[in-house]
Every structure is written in structure tokens, then in C-alpha cells.
Structure 1
Amino acid sequence: MAATSGSNALNPSSAPPKILLAKPGLNRVGGPGGSEDESVTLRSRLPPPASLNLLSDSWEFHTDRILQFLTENTDFTVIGVIGPSGVGKSTILNELFGFDATSPGMLPPFATQTEETRAMARHCTVGMELRVSAERLVLLDTQPIFSPSVLAEMMRPDGSSTISILHGESLSADLAHELMGIQLGVFMASVCHVILVISEGVHDMNMWHLMLTVDLLKHGIPDPSSLTSSYSQGSNLGHEKETKDTPQEADEEYLAAPIFVHTKLRELDLFPINTLQLRRALSQYFSLSSFMGKKYVNNIKAQMQSSGSSDNKTDDLGSAELELFLIPSKRQDDLQRVQCESYVSMLGKLRDLVLSINCRHFAKAVSEREWLRNSARIWDMVKNSPVIAEYSRTLQSSGMFRR
């Protein structure tokens, strides 16, 4: 993944492509000429002019402000992160970006949780944010999954949702909140090369369950290179034709390569016997999922053989394991007689793993700009997915959510 020269930019005579680093200060919504109550009620406003949100808090996709930072380069990698609040998503993305936290006066590309936000039970990321590194890594950060603060912000006094999650359907806030995580997961699995699934500790399996649900509901959603010009947003006919024109078969739909990351672990959790049990549990949990599909195994095996790899694992890929990465608690570094590697060291190793992983490729070559435009179409397909809509109705009829 080499850095792209200025000649790959939209205008060859211009400066080298811009790099999204720090997030500018956001303008307060409301202000003169419009009340804050109106903006909360309508939830249809555009993101503030300085926003770098790809997906806004109104659950709408916005490309105009991001397009200027992307080029016609086709040698890029999309890495997404998904997980609950406070598990270290933004910290991991900052590490992937190559941000040096010791540099004075430099803001991190992705805002991390502070003591103030933690005390107020608030979240940092709204919707989805995008940054691009000098290595042409397109990094996507999502709002937290299973977040009470997200639910509180989207709930009206009568319990209904202020955000339109499924086009044309009015939902209760708790059901809409449940579907938000699923939609984010389906979208990330469709447009990323690698998706980091972050959990806290060794006993939280909620993200595992979410990804199984994503695998179950991701049908008819192609990768960004497979869209045809015949697709039109909001058209069911276009959606059906797009599915037929997609080169993947029904059992070979594209899925980003997942890396399951568990953070804030104790030294005991990192003992070899415990890590082995967790790896076995992960493999068993996803043994029948598409994440362990035959196409993926064969693809990795072919890549390893073509690169001349002598790794003995090449012959054992029929029982390949999913990538699992464990990061100790930052406080572990302050303890005496710690036997595991440090928090900082493991963050660096995670970056090395992500940059070297044999990830899945899109069906065809696509430029950064084409990827962004087609990702907007894919988001529209996710919101119009009949499979997700049917799942929503099933959840509603279960009686677990408000009506």
C-alpha cells in the first residue's frame, strides 16, 4: 500500500492529495434563524460545514465534503472499526493512522474519550467519520454500538425514534437503536477490506452475536466495485437488477475480512491456556458463518502460494481460524511483574497485523472516488434492504420492543 503521488489526484497540476488529520471544531446547530428544538425534531439537516462525518446524525450519507480528499488512485485499503463505547476504537484508528501522541500541539485524527465525556456518559463519534492517511488508508470510525447515550439522543418523549432508520417506516427508538448497529455492520462488511470488531474484556460476546446477525442479513448487498450504472437510488427495480449484475453468486457475497479485537484485558486473561480457549470459542461460534466460507479460505491459500509463502498453515486453511487479537489494559503497564506485552507494544503489533493481513479484494479495481460514490449507493441499499426490513418486523412482533 504505497503512498500515492500527486499525479494521481483529480488535478495533476495541483498539490499532493490532502490528508484528513484533525477534526475541525464543529459549528453549533441551531443558532440565529433556527431553534435547536426544530433541528432535533426534523433530524434532516446537513452536517455542519466543517464536519468530516460521512454519515450524519440524521442517518444520511454525505459525500461532498469528503470527495475532495480522495483521488483516482486504485491502490488503497479501507479499514473500518465497530464496537461499543469506550473500548478503544478511536485509539486503535489513531494508531493505524500513524499518529504520534507525543507530538506537542497535535490533535489526533479521531477524538478519544476523555474523563469528562466518560463522566457525562456521552460518546465521541456521531454517525460515521472518515480519515485518509498518507499511506492511502481510508479509516472509518462508527458511533458506538449498544450505547445508552445514542439511544437517549434519538428518543422522543413518546418513545418513538427521531431518526429514520428504514426508509418509509416509523419505529420505536429502542428498535431503531437495535437496527442501527446491524446496518452499520452490514455496510462496513460491504465496503471495507478489513473490519475490526472491538469488544471489552473476554466475556463480552455481544459483538460476536452482532456479526453473526450481519452475516445473516447481508444479502443482495454488493461490494463497491460491482455496482452498475443502471442502479438508481430508491428504485426496487434498480436494486433487483443490481443484484443480478453483481459477479458474486448468492453463496459468494463479498465480506470484509474481520479481525476480532478484545481490549482492556487482565494479565490472567492473556495466559496461553486462556487465549487458546478464546480462539477455539471464536472459531466454533463462527464455524457455519460466511466469515469462514470456502471462498475466503481458497482466496487466502492462493495468495499465500502465489507469494511463495512456506508457511505450514497453507495446507491447514480448510480449518482456518478467524483473526483474534488481544490487547491488555493500559493500567497493566503500571503493575509490577507483568508477564504479558505492554499496551503500547500490542497496539503497534495490531497495526502491523492490519497492514499485512491477506484481506479480501473487491471484484474489480475501483478508485477512491468511485469507492466513495458507490458506498453512498450501498448505504441506500442497506436502508432499503427487504431482508433487514423483514428482520425488523420479526423483532417488533417478538414483543421485546415498544410499538
Structure 2
Amino acid sequence: MSDSGQSPAPGGRRRWPREKEPDGGGDRRQEGGEEPAGLMQKTPIILAKPPGERQQAKAGSGPAPPTPAPAPPIVLMKARGEEGRGGGGATSGEGPALAPPREREGPRPTQPVYQLHGRGLPPPGALDPVAGQARLAAPEKMKTSIKLVDEQMNWCDSALEFLLEQTDVLVVGALGLQGTGKSTLLSLLAANQPEEDPRSFVFRPQPPELRERGGSQTGGIDFFITQERVVFLDTQPILSPAHLDHLINNDRKLPPEYGLPHTYVEMQSLQIAAFLFTVCHVVLLVQDWFTDLGLYRFLQTAEMVKPSTPSPSHEPSGAAGPEEPSEYYPHLVFVQTRARPESFCPRRLRQMHRVLDRLMAHSHLKYKGSLSMRDCGLLPGLPPGSLGAEVNLFLLPPLEEEGGGEDALPRPGGGGAPLFPHLPPYRGHGAFGPLLARLRGRVLAAARTQLSHTLLTERNWFHYAARIWDGVKKSSALAEYSRLLG
């Protein structure tokens, strides 16, 4: 009561202190007992008035009539509007004290826009459509391959930045012995042309000096993805003598679970093959000659230790429907590079198909299908049904013959100019370029089936492949096989 008695009254009136108040002051306070409550109601209104009206109220004999307080949203919008106008237009004393902003300044933003500002978010008009579309644009085009698994068999995460959240992706891997041309073949299938410099290939092949020393160019697993969303995986040579020589001569320390260097090299090869059989749609087995029984024995072993397809996380094991396959197996294509002209003979092709069919008779890999060279139209001696067992076999002539050098084209009569110089030369088989184009068409047209029981995007495939690689390295079947080898 004492605090409210000493507060100054509006309109310039002054209250006397309690000890100096004239007689009858108590009665006057009792008569005007409701006055302090009215004064407290007028206080925010007076502070909100412009300076011109405040001076007019001081000059008058009595207090100004109370003005109804404006709604809080209107005051907020007015304050932001005055800041946008530079603070002008609010000092005039002739107009109404608190006119609605829509009548004074035209259309104003609505309240939800200010709530977005208060949360630190831009208003809808400030969103850049170009920046929004940049999030959906394809990543930067790859110029060369990067590591998916390094030489120490460790997983690398650098490929994740080139992947998208879309499901239409094809994964193609390559296996083969040392020097068979895996890197060259994948480069030609991915982005390069035969006439280009090999040093510009996305998967760099062996340079001549390294080939002469018997060395290996690729270590681990290399990764490359095209703008057509096709992933190519190039691998180090399986059962490589160059890696074995490097382990022995450089005194590299072997992991404790491997006792001998040759056991470690074979286990690395099995890990890579089992990994490709799980995460690829198409696996190319590249070889530069045909009869290598040890290679087919290696394929059967890799299929035996292949990790099983993970079941869906939301379903228990064995709960999948009958229409959903329990295990996934990729398409296997036998690609023979540097094939000699006699290998393109229909009789020789039929023999090769029969041998491959018998060697892979007990395999679950999809080694038969639509990836054969019978329907290419480049071999007129192969009518439909002439090969019997339709094995995925494709022959490619030596790449060196594409340039048409002196050693590539036999001359009639042992010398002189060609008999028909205006016709393309015939060497007993089609040219390298058309055959390679047909192989590329067959591979890229392969069915992009589901690798697991759930549909995977590119980024999900990367995480799925990382989990499979970790499981392959910790596989109990591979550990038991390594113990038997040692």
C-alpha cells in the first residue's frame, strides 16, 4: 500500500507523502480507493503512446481517457514493420495511436512466418530452388577408380560419396589369374575405348615394365561407378605369385591365424571370390586360355565358403515365403581374352561349351543364360541350338590386332597388299570392337535382381557390402579351411 501511494500519477499529478498529507487525506484515499487499480491499468497504455499524445496529456487538466490495449500479435507485426521501414512513420501524433498494419502499409506476412524466423529457419520465400535441386543431382563424375578394399584387406569408405539413394543399380565384378586382362576389360566395359592410351583407363592395367618383372598392378578391390549407375569392381589376381613373392621377399608379418605365406594368399583370393559371389549381379571370370582345372576347383571352393544371404531383420530365420529364394547367386560369365582364330570355330565352341557344362554341373552359380555370344550375330556358323548347352561363354581376340599392324593381318601369297583393300580384313573371327560392344550390351542388360531379401539402394548396397566383407573375414568356414590347408 505504501509503494502504490508514492507512485506518480499519470498526467503530471503528484501525490503527497503520507506524513505530509493535509487533513482529510485518509478520507480522500478512501473515497478514491479504486483509483490505484485504474492507474495500474493505464500504465502500459501510456507507455505505448507516441510522444505527441504524451505531451498533450501532460498539458490537460485531467487524465486522458483510457485507450483499449491492442492485441499482442498486432503489436509484434507493427514492431517488425517499423524496423523494415527504418523506424519512420510512427511518430505522427494526428493519426490513430495503434492503427492495424494492414491498413497503413498494405499486406503483411502472417504469424507462422515469424514463428519460422524465431526458430532460425528461413521463410518459404527464401528457399533457393536451385539449391534444392542440387541435392537431387547426380554426384560428380568419377575419372578414375578408388579403393573399396586396400592392399591390407581393410574396408575403405571413400566410395560412399559417389553413391545415391536409388535402387536401379547394377554391380559387375571380375575375377581372374594374374595378367589375364581384368583391369583392361573392365575399363573398356566402363568408360574407355580400345584406341585410348592405357594410362588413361579407369582401372590402370599393367605397364610393360611391371609385366616384364612379373608384378601385379591391382591390390585389394578397386571401385568405379558410371553415370548409368553401373558399379564395376576390379580385384587383385587370385592365387597371385606376385603377391606370394612380395610376402616372402619383403618379410611381411602374416596374421597369427595363417602359418604359411601361400595359405594367406589363397585365403585372400577365397575371401575376394566369396565376397563377389554375394554382392554382385554379374561376375566375369577372365582367363587367357581355356583348360585350367585348378581355376574351376577354386570356384567350387569359393562357392562352398560363400556367406549365406542375410534374412530380413524383422522376420525370424526361415519365415520367408516360398517364393523368396533362400540363397542368392550371381550370373557367372566366362570371358576368354586373346582368343586365337581357331577358337571361334563352331566345332571348337561346342566342345568348350560341353566341357564348361560338365565342370560346373554341381554349381549353383548362374553360368547358363542369356549372356552367351551365340545371339550376337557376328558368327554366322552358330545357328540357334548349335551349341547344345548354352553356357555364358564369350571370346575376345587380342586387343593388339585392333590397330591392324603388320603381324595382325596375314597377307595373301605371303606378301604384298591385301587382295580386297576396300573391305574390312577377316581374321577368322569378328573384330575386337564389335565383339566388345556385344559383350557390353549383354552385361549391362543383365537382370538387376535383389541381392538380399530387401530392396537395396546404392548407399544401402555399400553398407551391405561392408557387412558382408566383415563377415567373410570372420567366417568360421574359411577359418576351418585355412586350418586344413596349414
TM-score normalised by length of structure 2: 0.60
CA contact 1:101–1:108 (8 Å) conserved in 2: no
Give the drift of 1:157: 6.8
CA contact 1:258–1:323 (8 Å) conserved in 2: yes
1:330/1:171 CA distance change after superposition, 3 Å? same
Q: Does 1:366 align with 2:456?
A: yes
Q: Distance in 2 between matches of 1:22 and 1:189?
A: 24
Amino acid aligned to 2:147: N
Amino acid aligned to 1:339: G
Structure 2 counterparts to residues 179-194 of structure 1, below 5 A: 179-194=267-282
Q: Distance in 2 between matches of 1:104 and 1:289?
A: 39
The aligned counterpart of 1:357 is 446
Report SS of the residue matched to 2:278: helix
1:292/1:203 CA distance change after superposition, 3 Å? same
Aligned CA-pair RMSD: 3.5
Amino acid aligned to 1:347: L
Q: Distance in 2 between matches of 1:262 and 1:150?
A: 23
Structure 2 counterparts to residues 284-303 of structure 1, below 5 A: 284-291=358-365
1:75/1:152 CA distance change after superposition, 3 Å? same
Match of 1:55 among 143, 149, 172: 149
1:197/1:68 CA distance change after superposition, 3 Å? same
Give the drift of 1:101: 5.0
Q: Distance in 2 between matches of 1:155 and 1:245?
A: 49
Report SS of the residue matched to 1:141: strand
The aligned counterpart of 1:323 is 392
Give a deviation string over 1:372-396, Cα, whole Å, max 9, x none.
Answer: 1111110111111111111112222
| Percent of residue pairs bearing the same amino acid type | 29
The aligned counterpart of 1:28 is none
Give the drift of 1:55: 0.5
Higher relative contact order (Cα pairs below 8 Å, separated by 6+ residues): 1
Give a deviation string over 1:243-299, Cα, whole Å, max 9, x none.
Answer: 768889998411111111111111112211111101111111111111259xx98x9
Match of 1:13 among 135, 142, 151: 135
Q: Distance in 2 between matches of 1:60 and 1:149?
A: 20
Amino acid aligned to 1:373: H
The aligned counterpart of 1:114 is 207
The aligned counterpart of 1:204 is 292
The aligned counterpart of 2:339 is 265
Amino acid aligned to 1:193: H
Report SS of the residue matched to 1:290: coil
Q: Distance in 1 between matches of 2:133 and 2:351?
A: 53
Structure 2 counterparts to residues 129-208 of structure 1, below 5 A: 129-155=222-248, 162-164=253-255, 169-208=257-296
1:10/1:83 CA distance change after superposition, 3 Å? farther
CA contact 1:74–1:366 (8 Å) conserved in 2: yes
1:348/1:359 CA distance change after superposition, 3 Å? same
Q: Distance in 2 between matches of 1:382 and 1:105?
A: 33
Amino acid aligned to 2:149: L
Give a deviation string over 1:144-198, Cα, whole Å, max 9, x none.
Answer: 112111112233777xx6354xxx6233111011111111110000000110011
Give the drift of 1:359: 5.6
Q: Distance in 2 between matches of 1:320 and 1:75?
A: 31
CA contact 2:168–2:448 (8 Å) conserved in 1: no
Match of 2:159 among 54, 61, 66: 66
Report SS of the residue matched to 1:80: strand
Q: Does 1:278 align with 2:367?
A: no
CA contact 1:53–1:128 (8 Å) conserved in 2: yes
User: Rg bigger for which structure?
Assistant: 2
CA contact 2:194–2:399 (8 Å) conserved in 1: no
Report SS of the residue matched to 2:200: coil
Q: Does 1:91 align with 2:179?
A: no
Give the drift of 1:87: 1.1
Match of 1:253 among 327, 330, 333: 327
The aligned counterpart of 1:380 is 470
> What count of residue pairs does the alignment treat as equivalent?
323
Q: Distance in 1 between matches of 2:259 and 2:320?
A: 31
Give a deviation string over 1:88-110, Cα, whole Å, max 9, x none.
Answer: 11111112213235468982211
The aligned counterpart of 1:390 is 480
* Structure 1 segments (4+ residues) deviating >6 Å: 243-251
Report SS of the residue matched to 1:19: coil
Q: Does 1:215 align with 2:303?
A: yes
Q: Distance in 1 between matches of 2:278 and 2:155?
A: 15
1:341/1:391 CA distance change after superposition, 3 Å? same
Q: Distance in 2 between matches of 1:250 and 1:288?
A: 22
Q: Which runs of 5+ in 1 are unaligned?
A: 1-6, 24-51, 231-240, 301-312, 397-403
Amino acid aligned to 2:154: E
CA contact 2:198–2:204 (8 Å) conserved in 1: no
Give a deviation string over 1:291-348, Cα, whole Å, max 9, x none.
Answer: 259xx98x99xxxxxxxxxxxx99xxxx964311111223455132511112232222
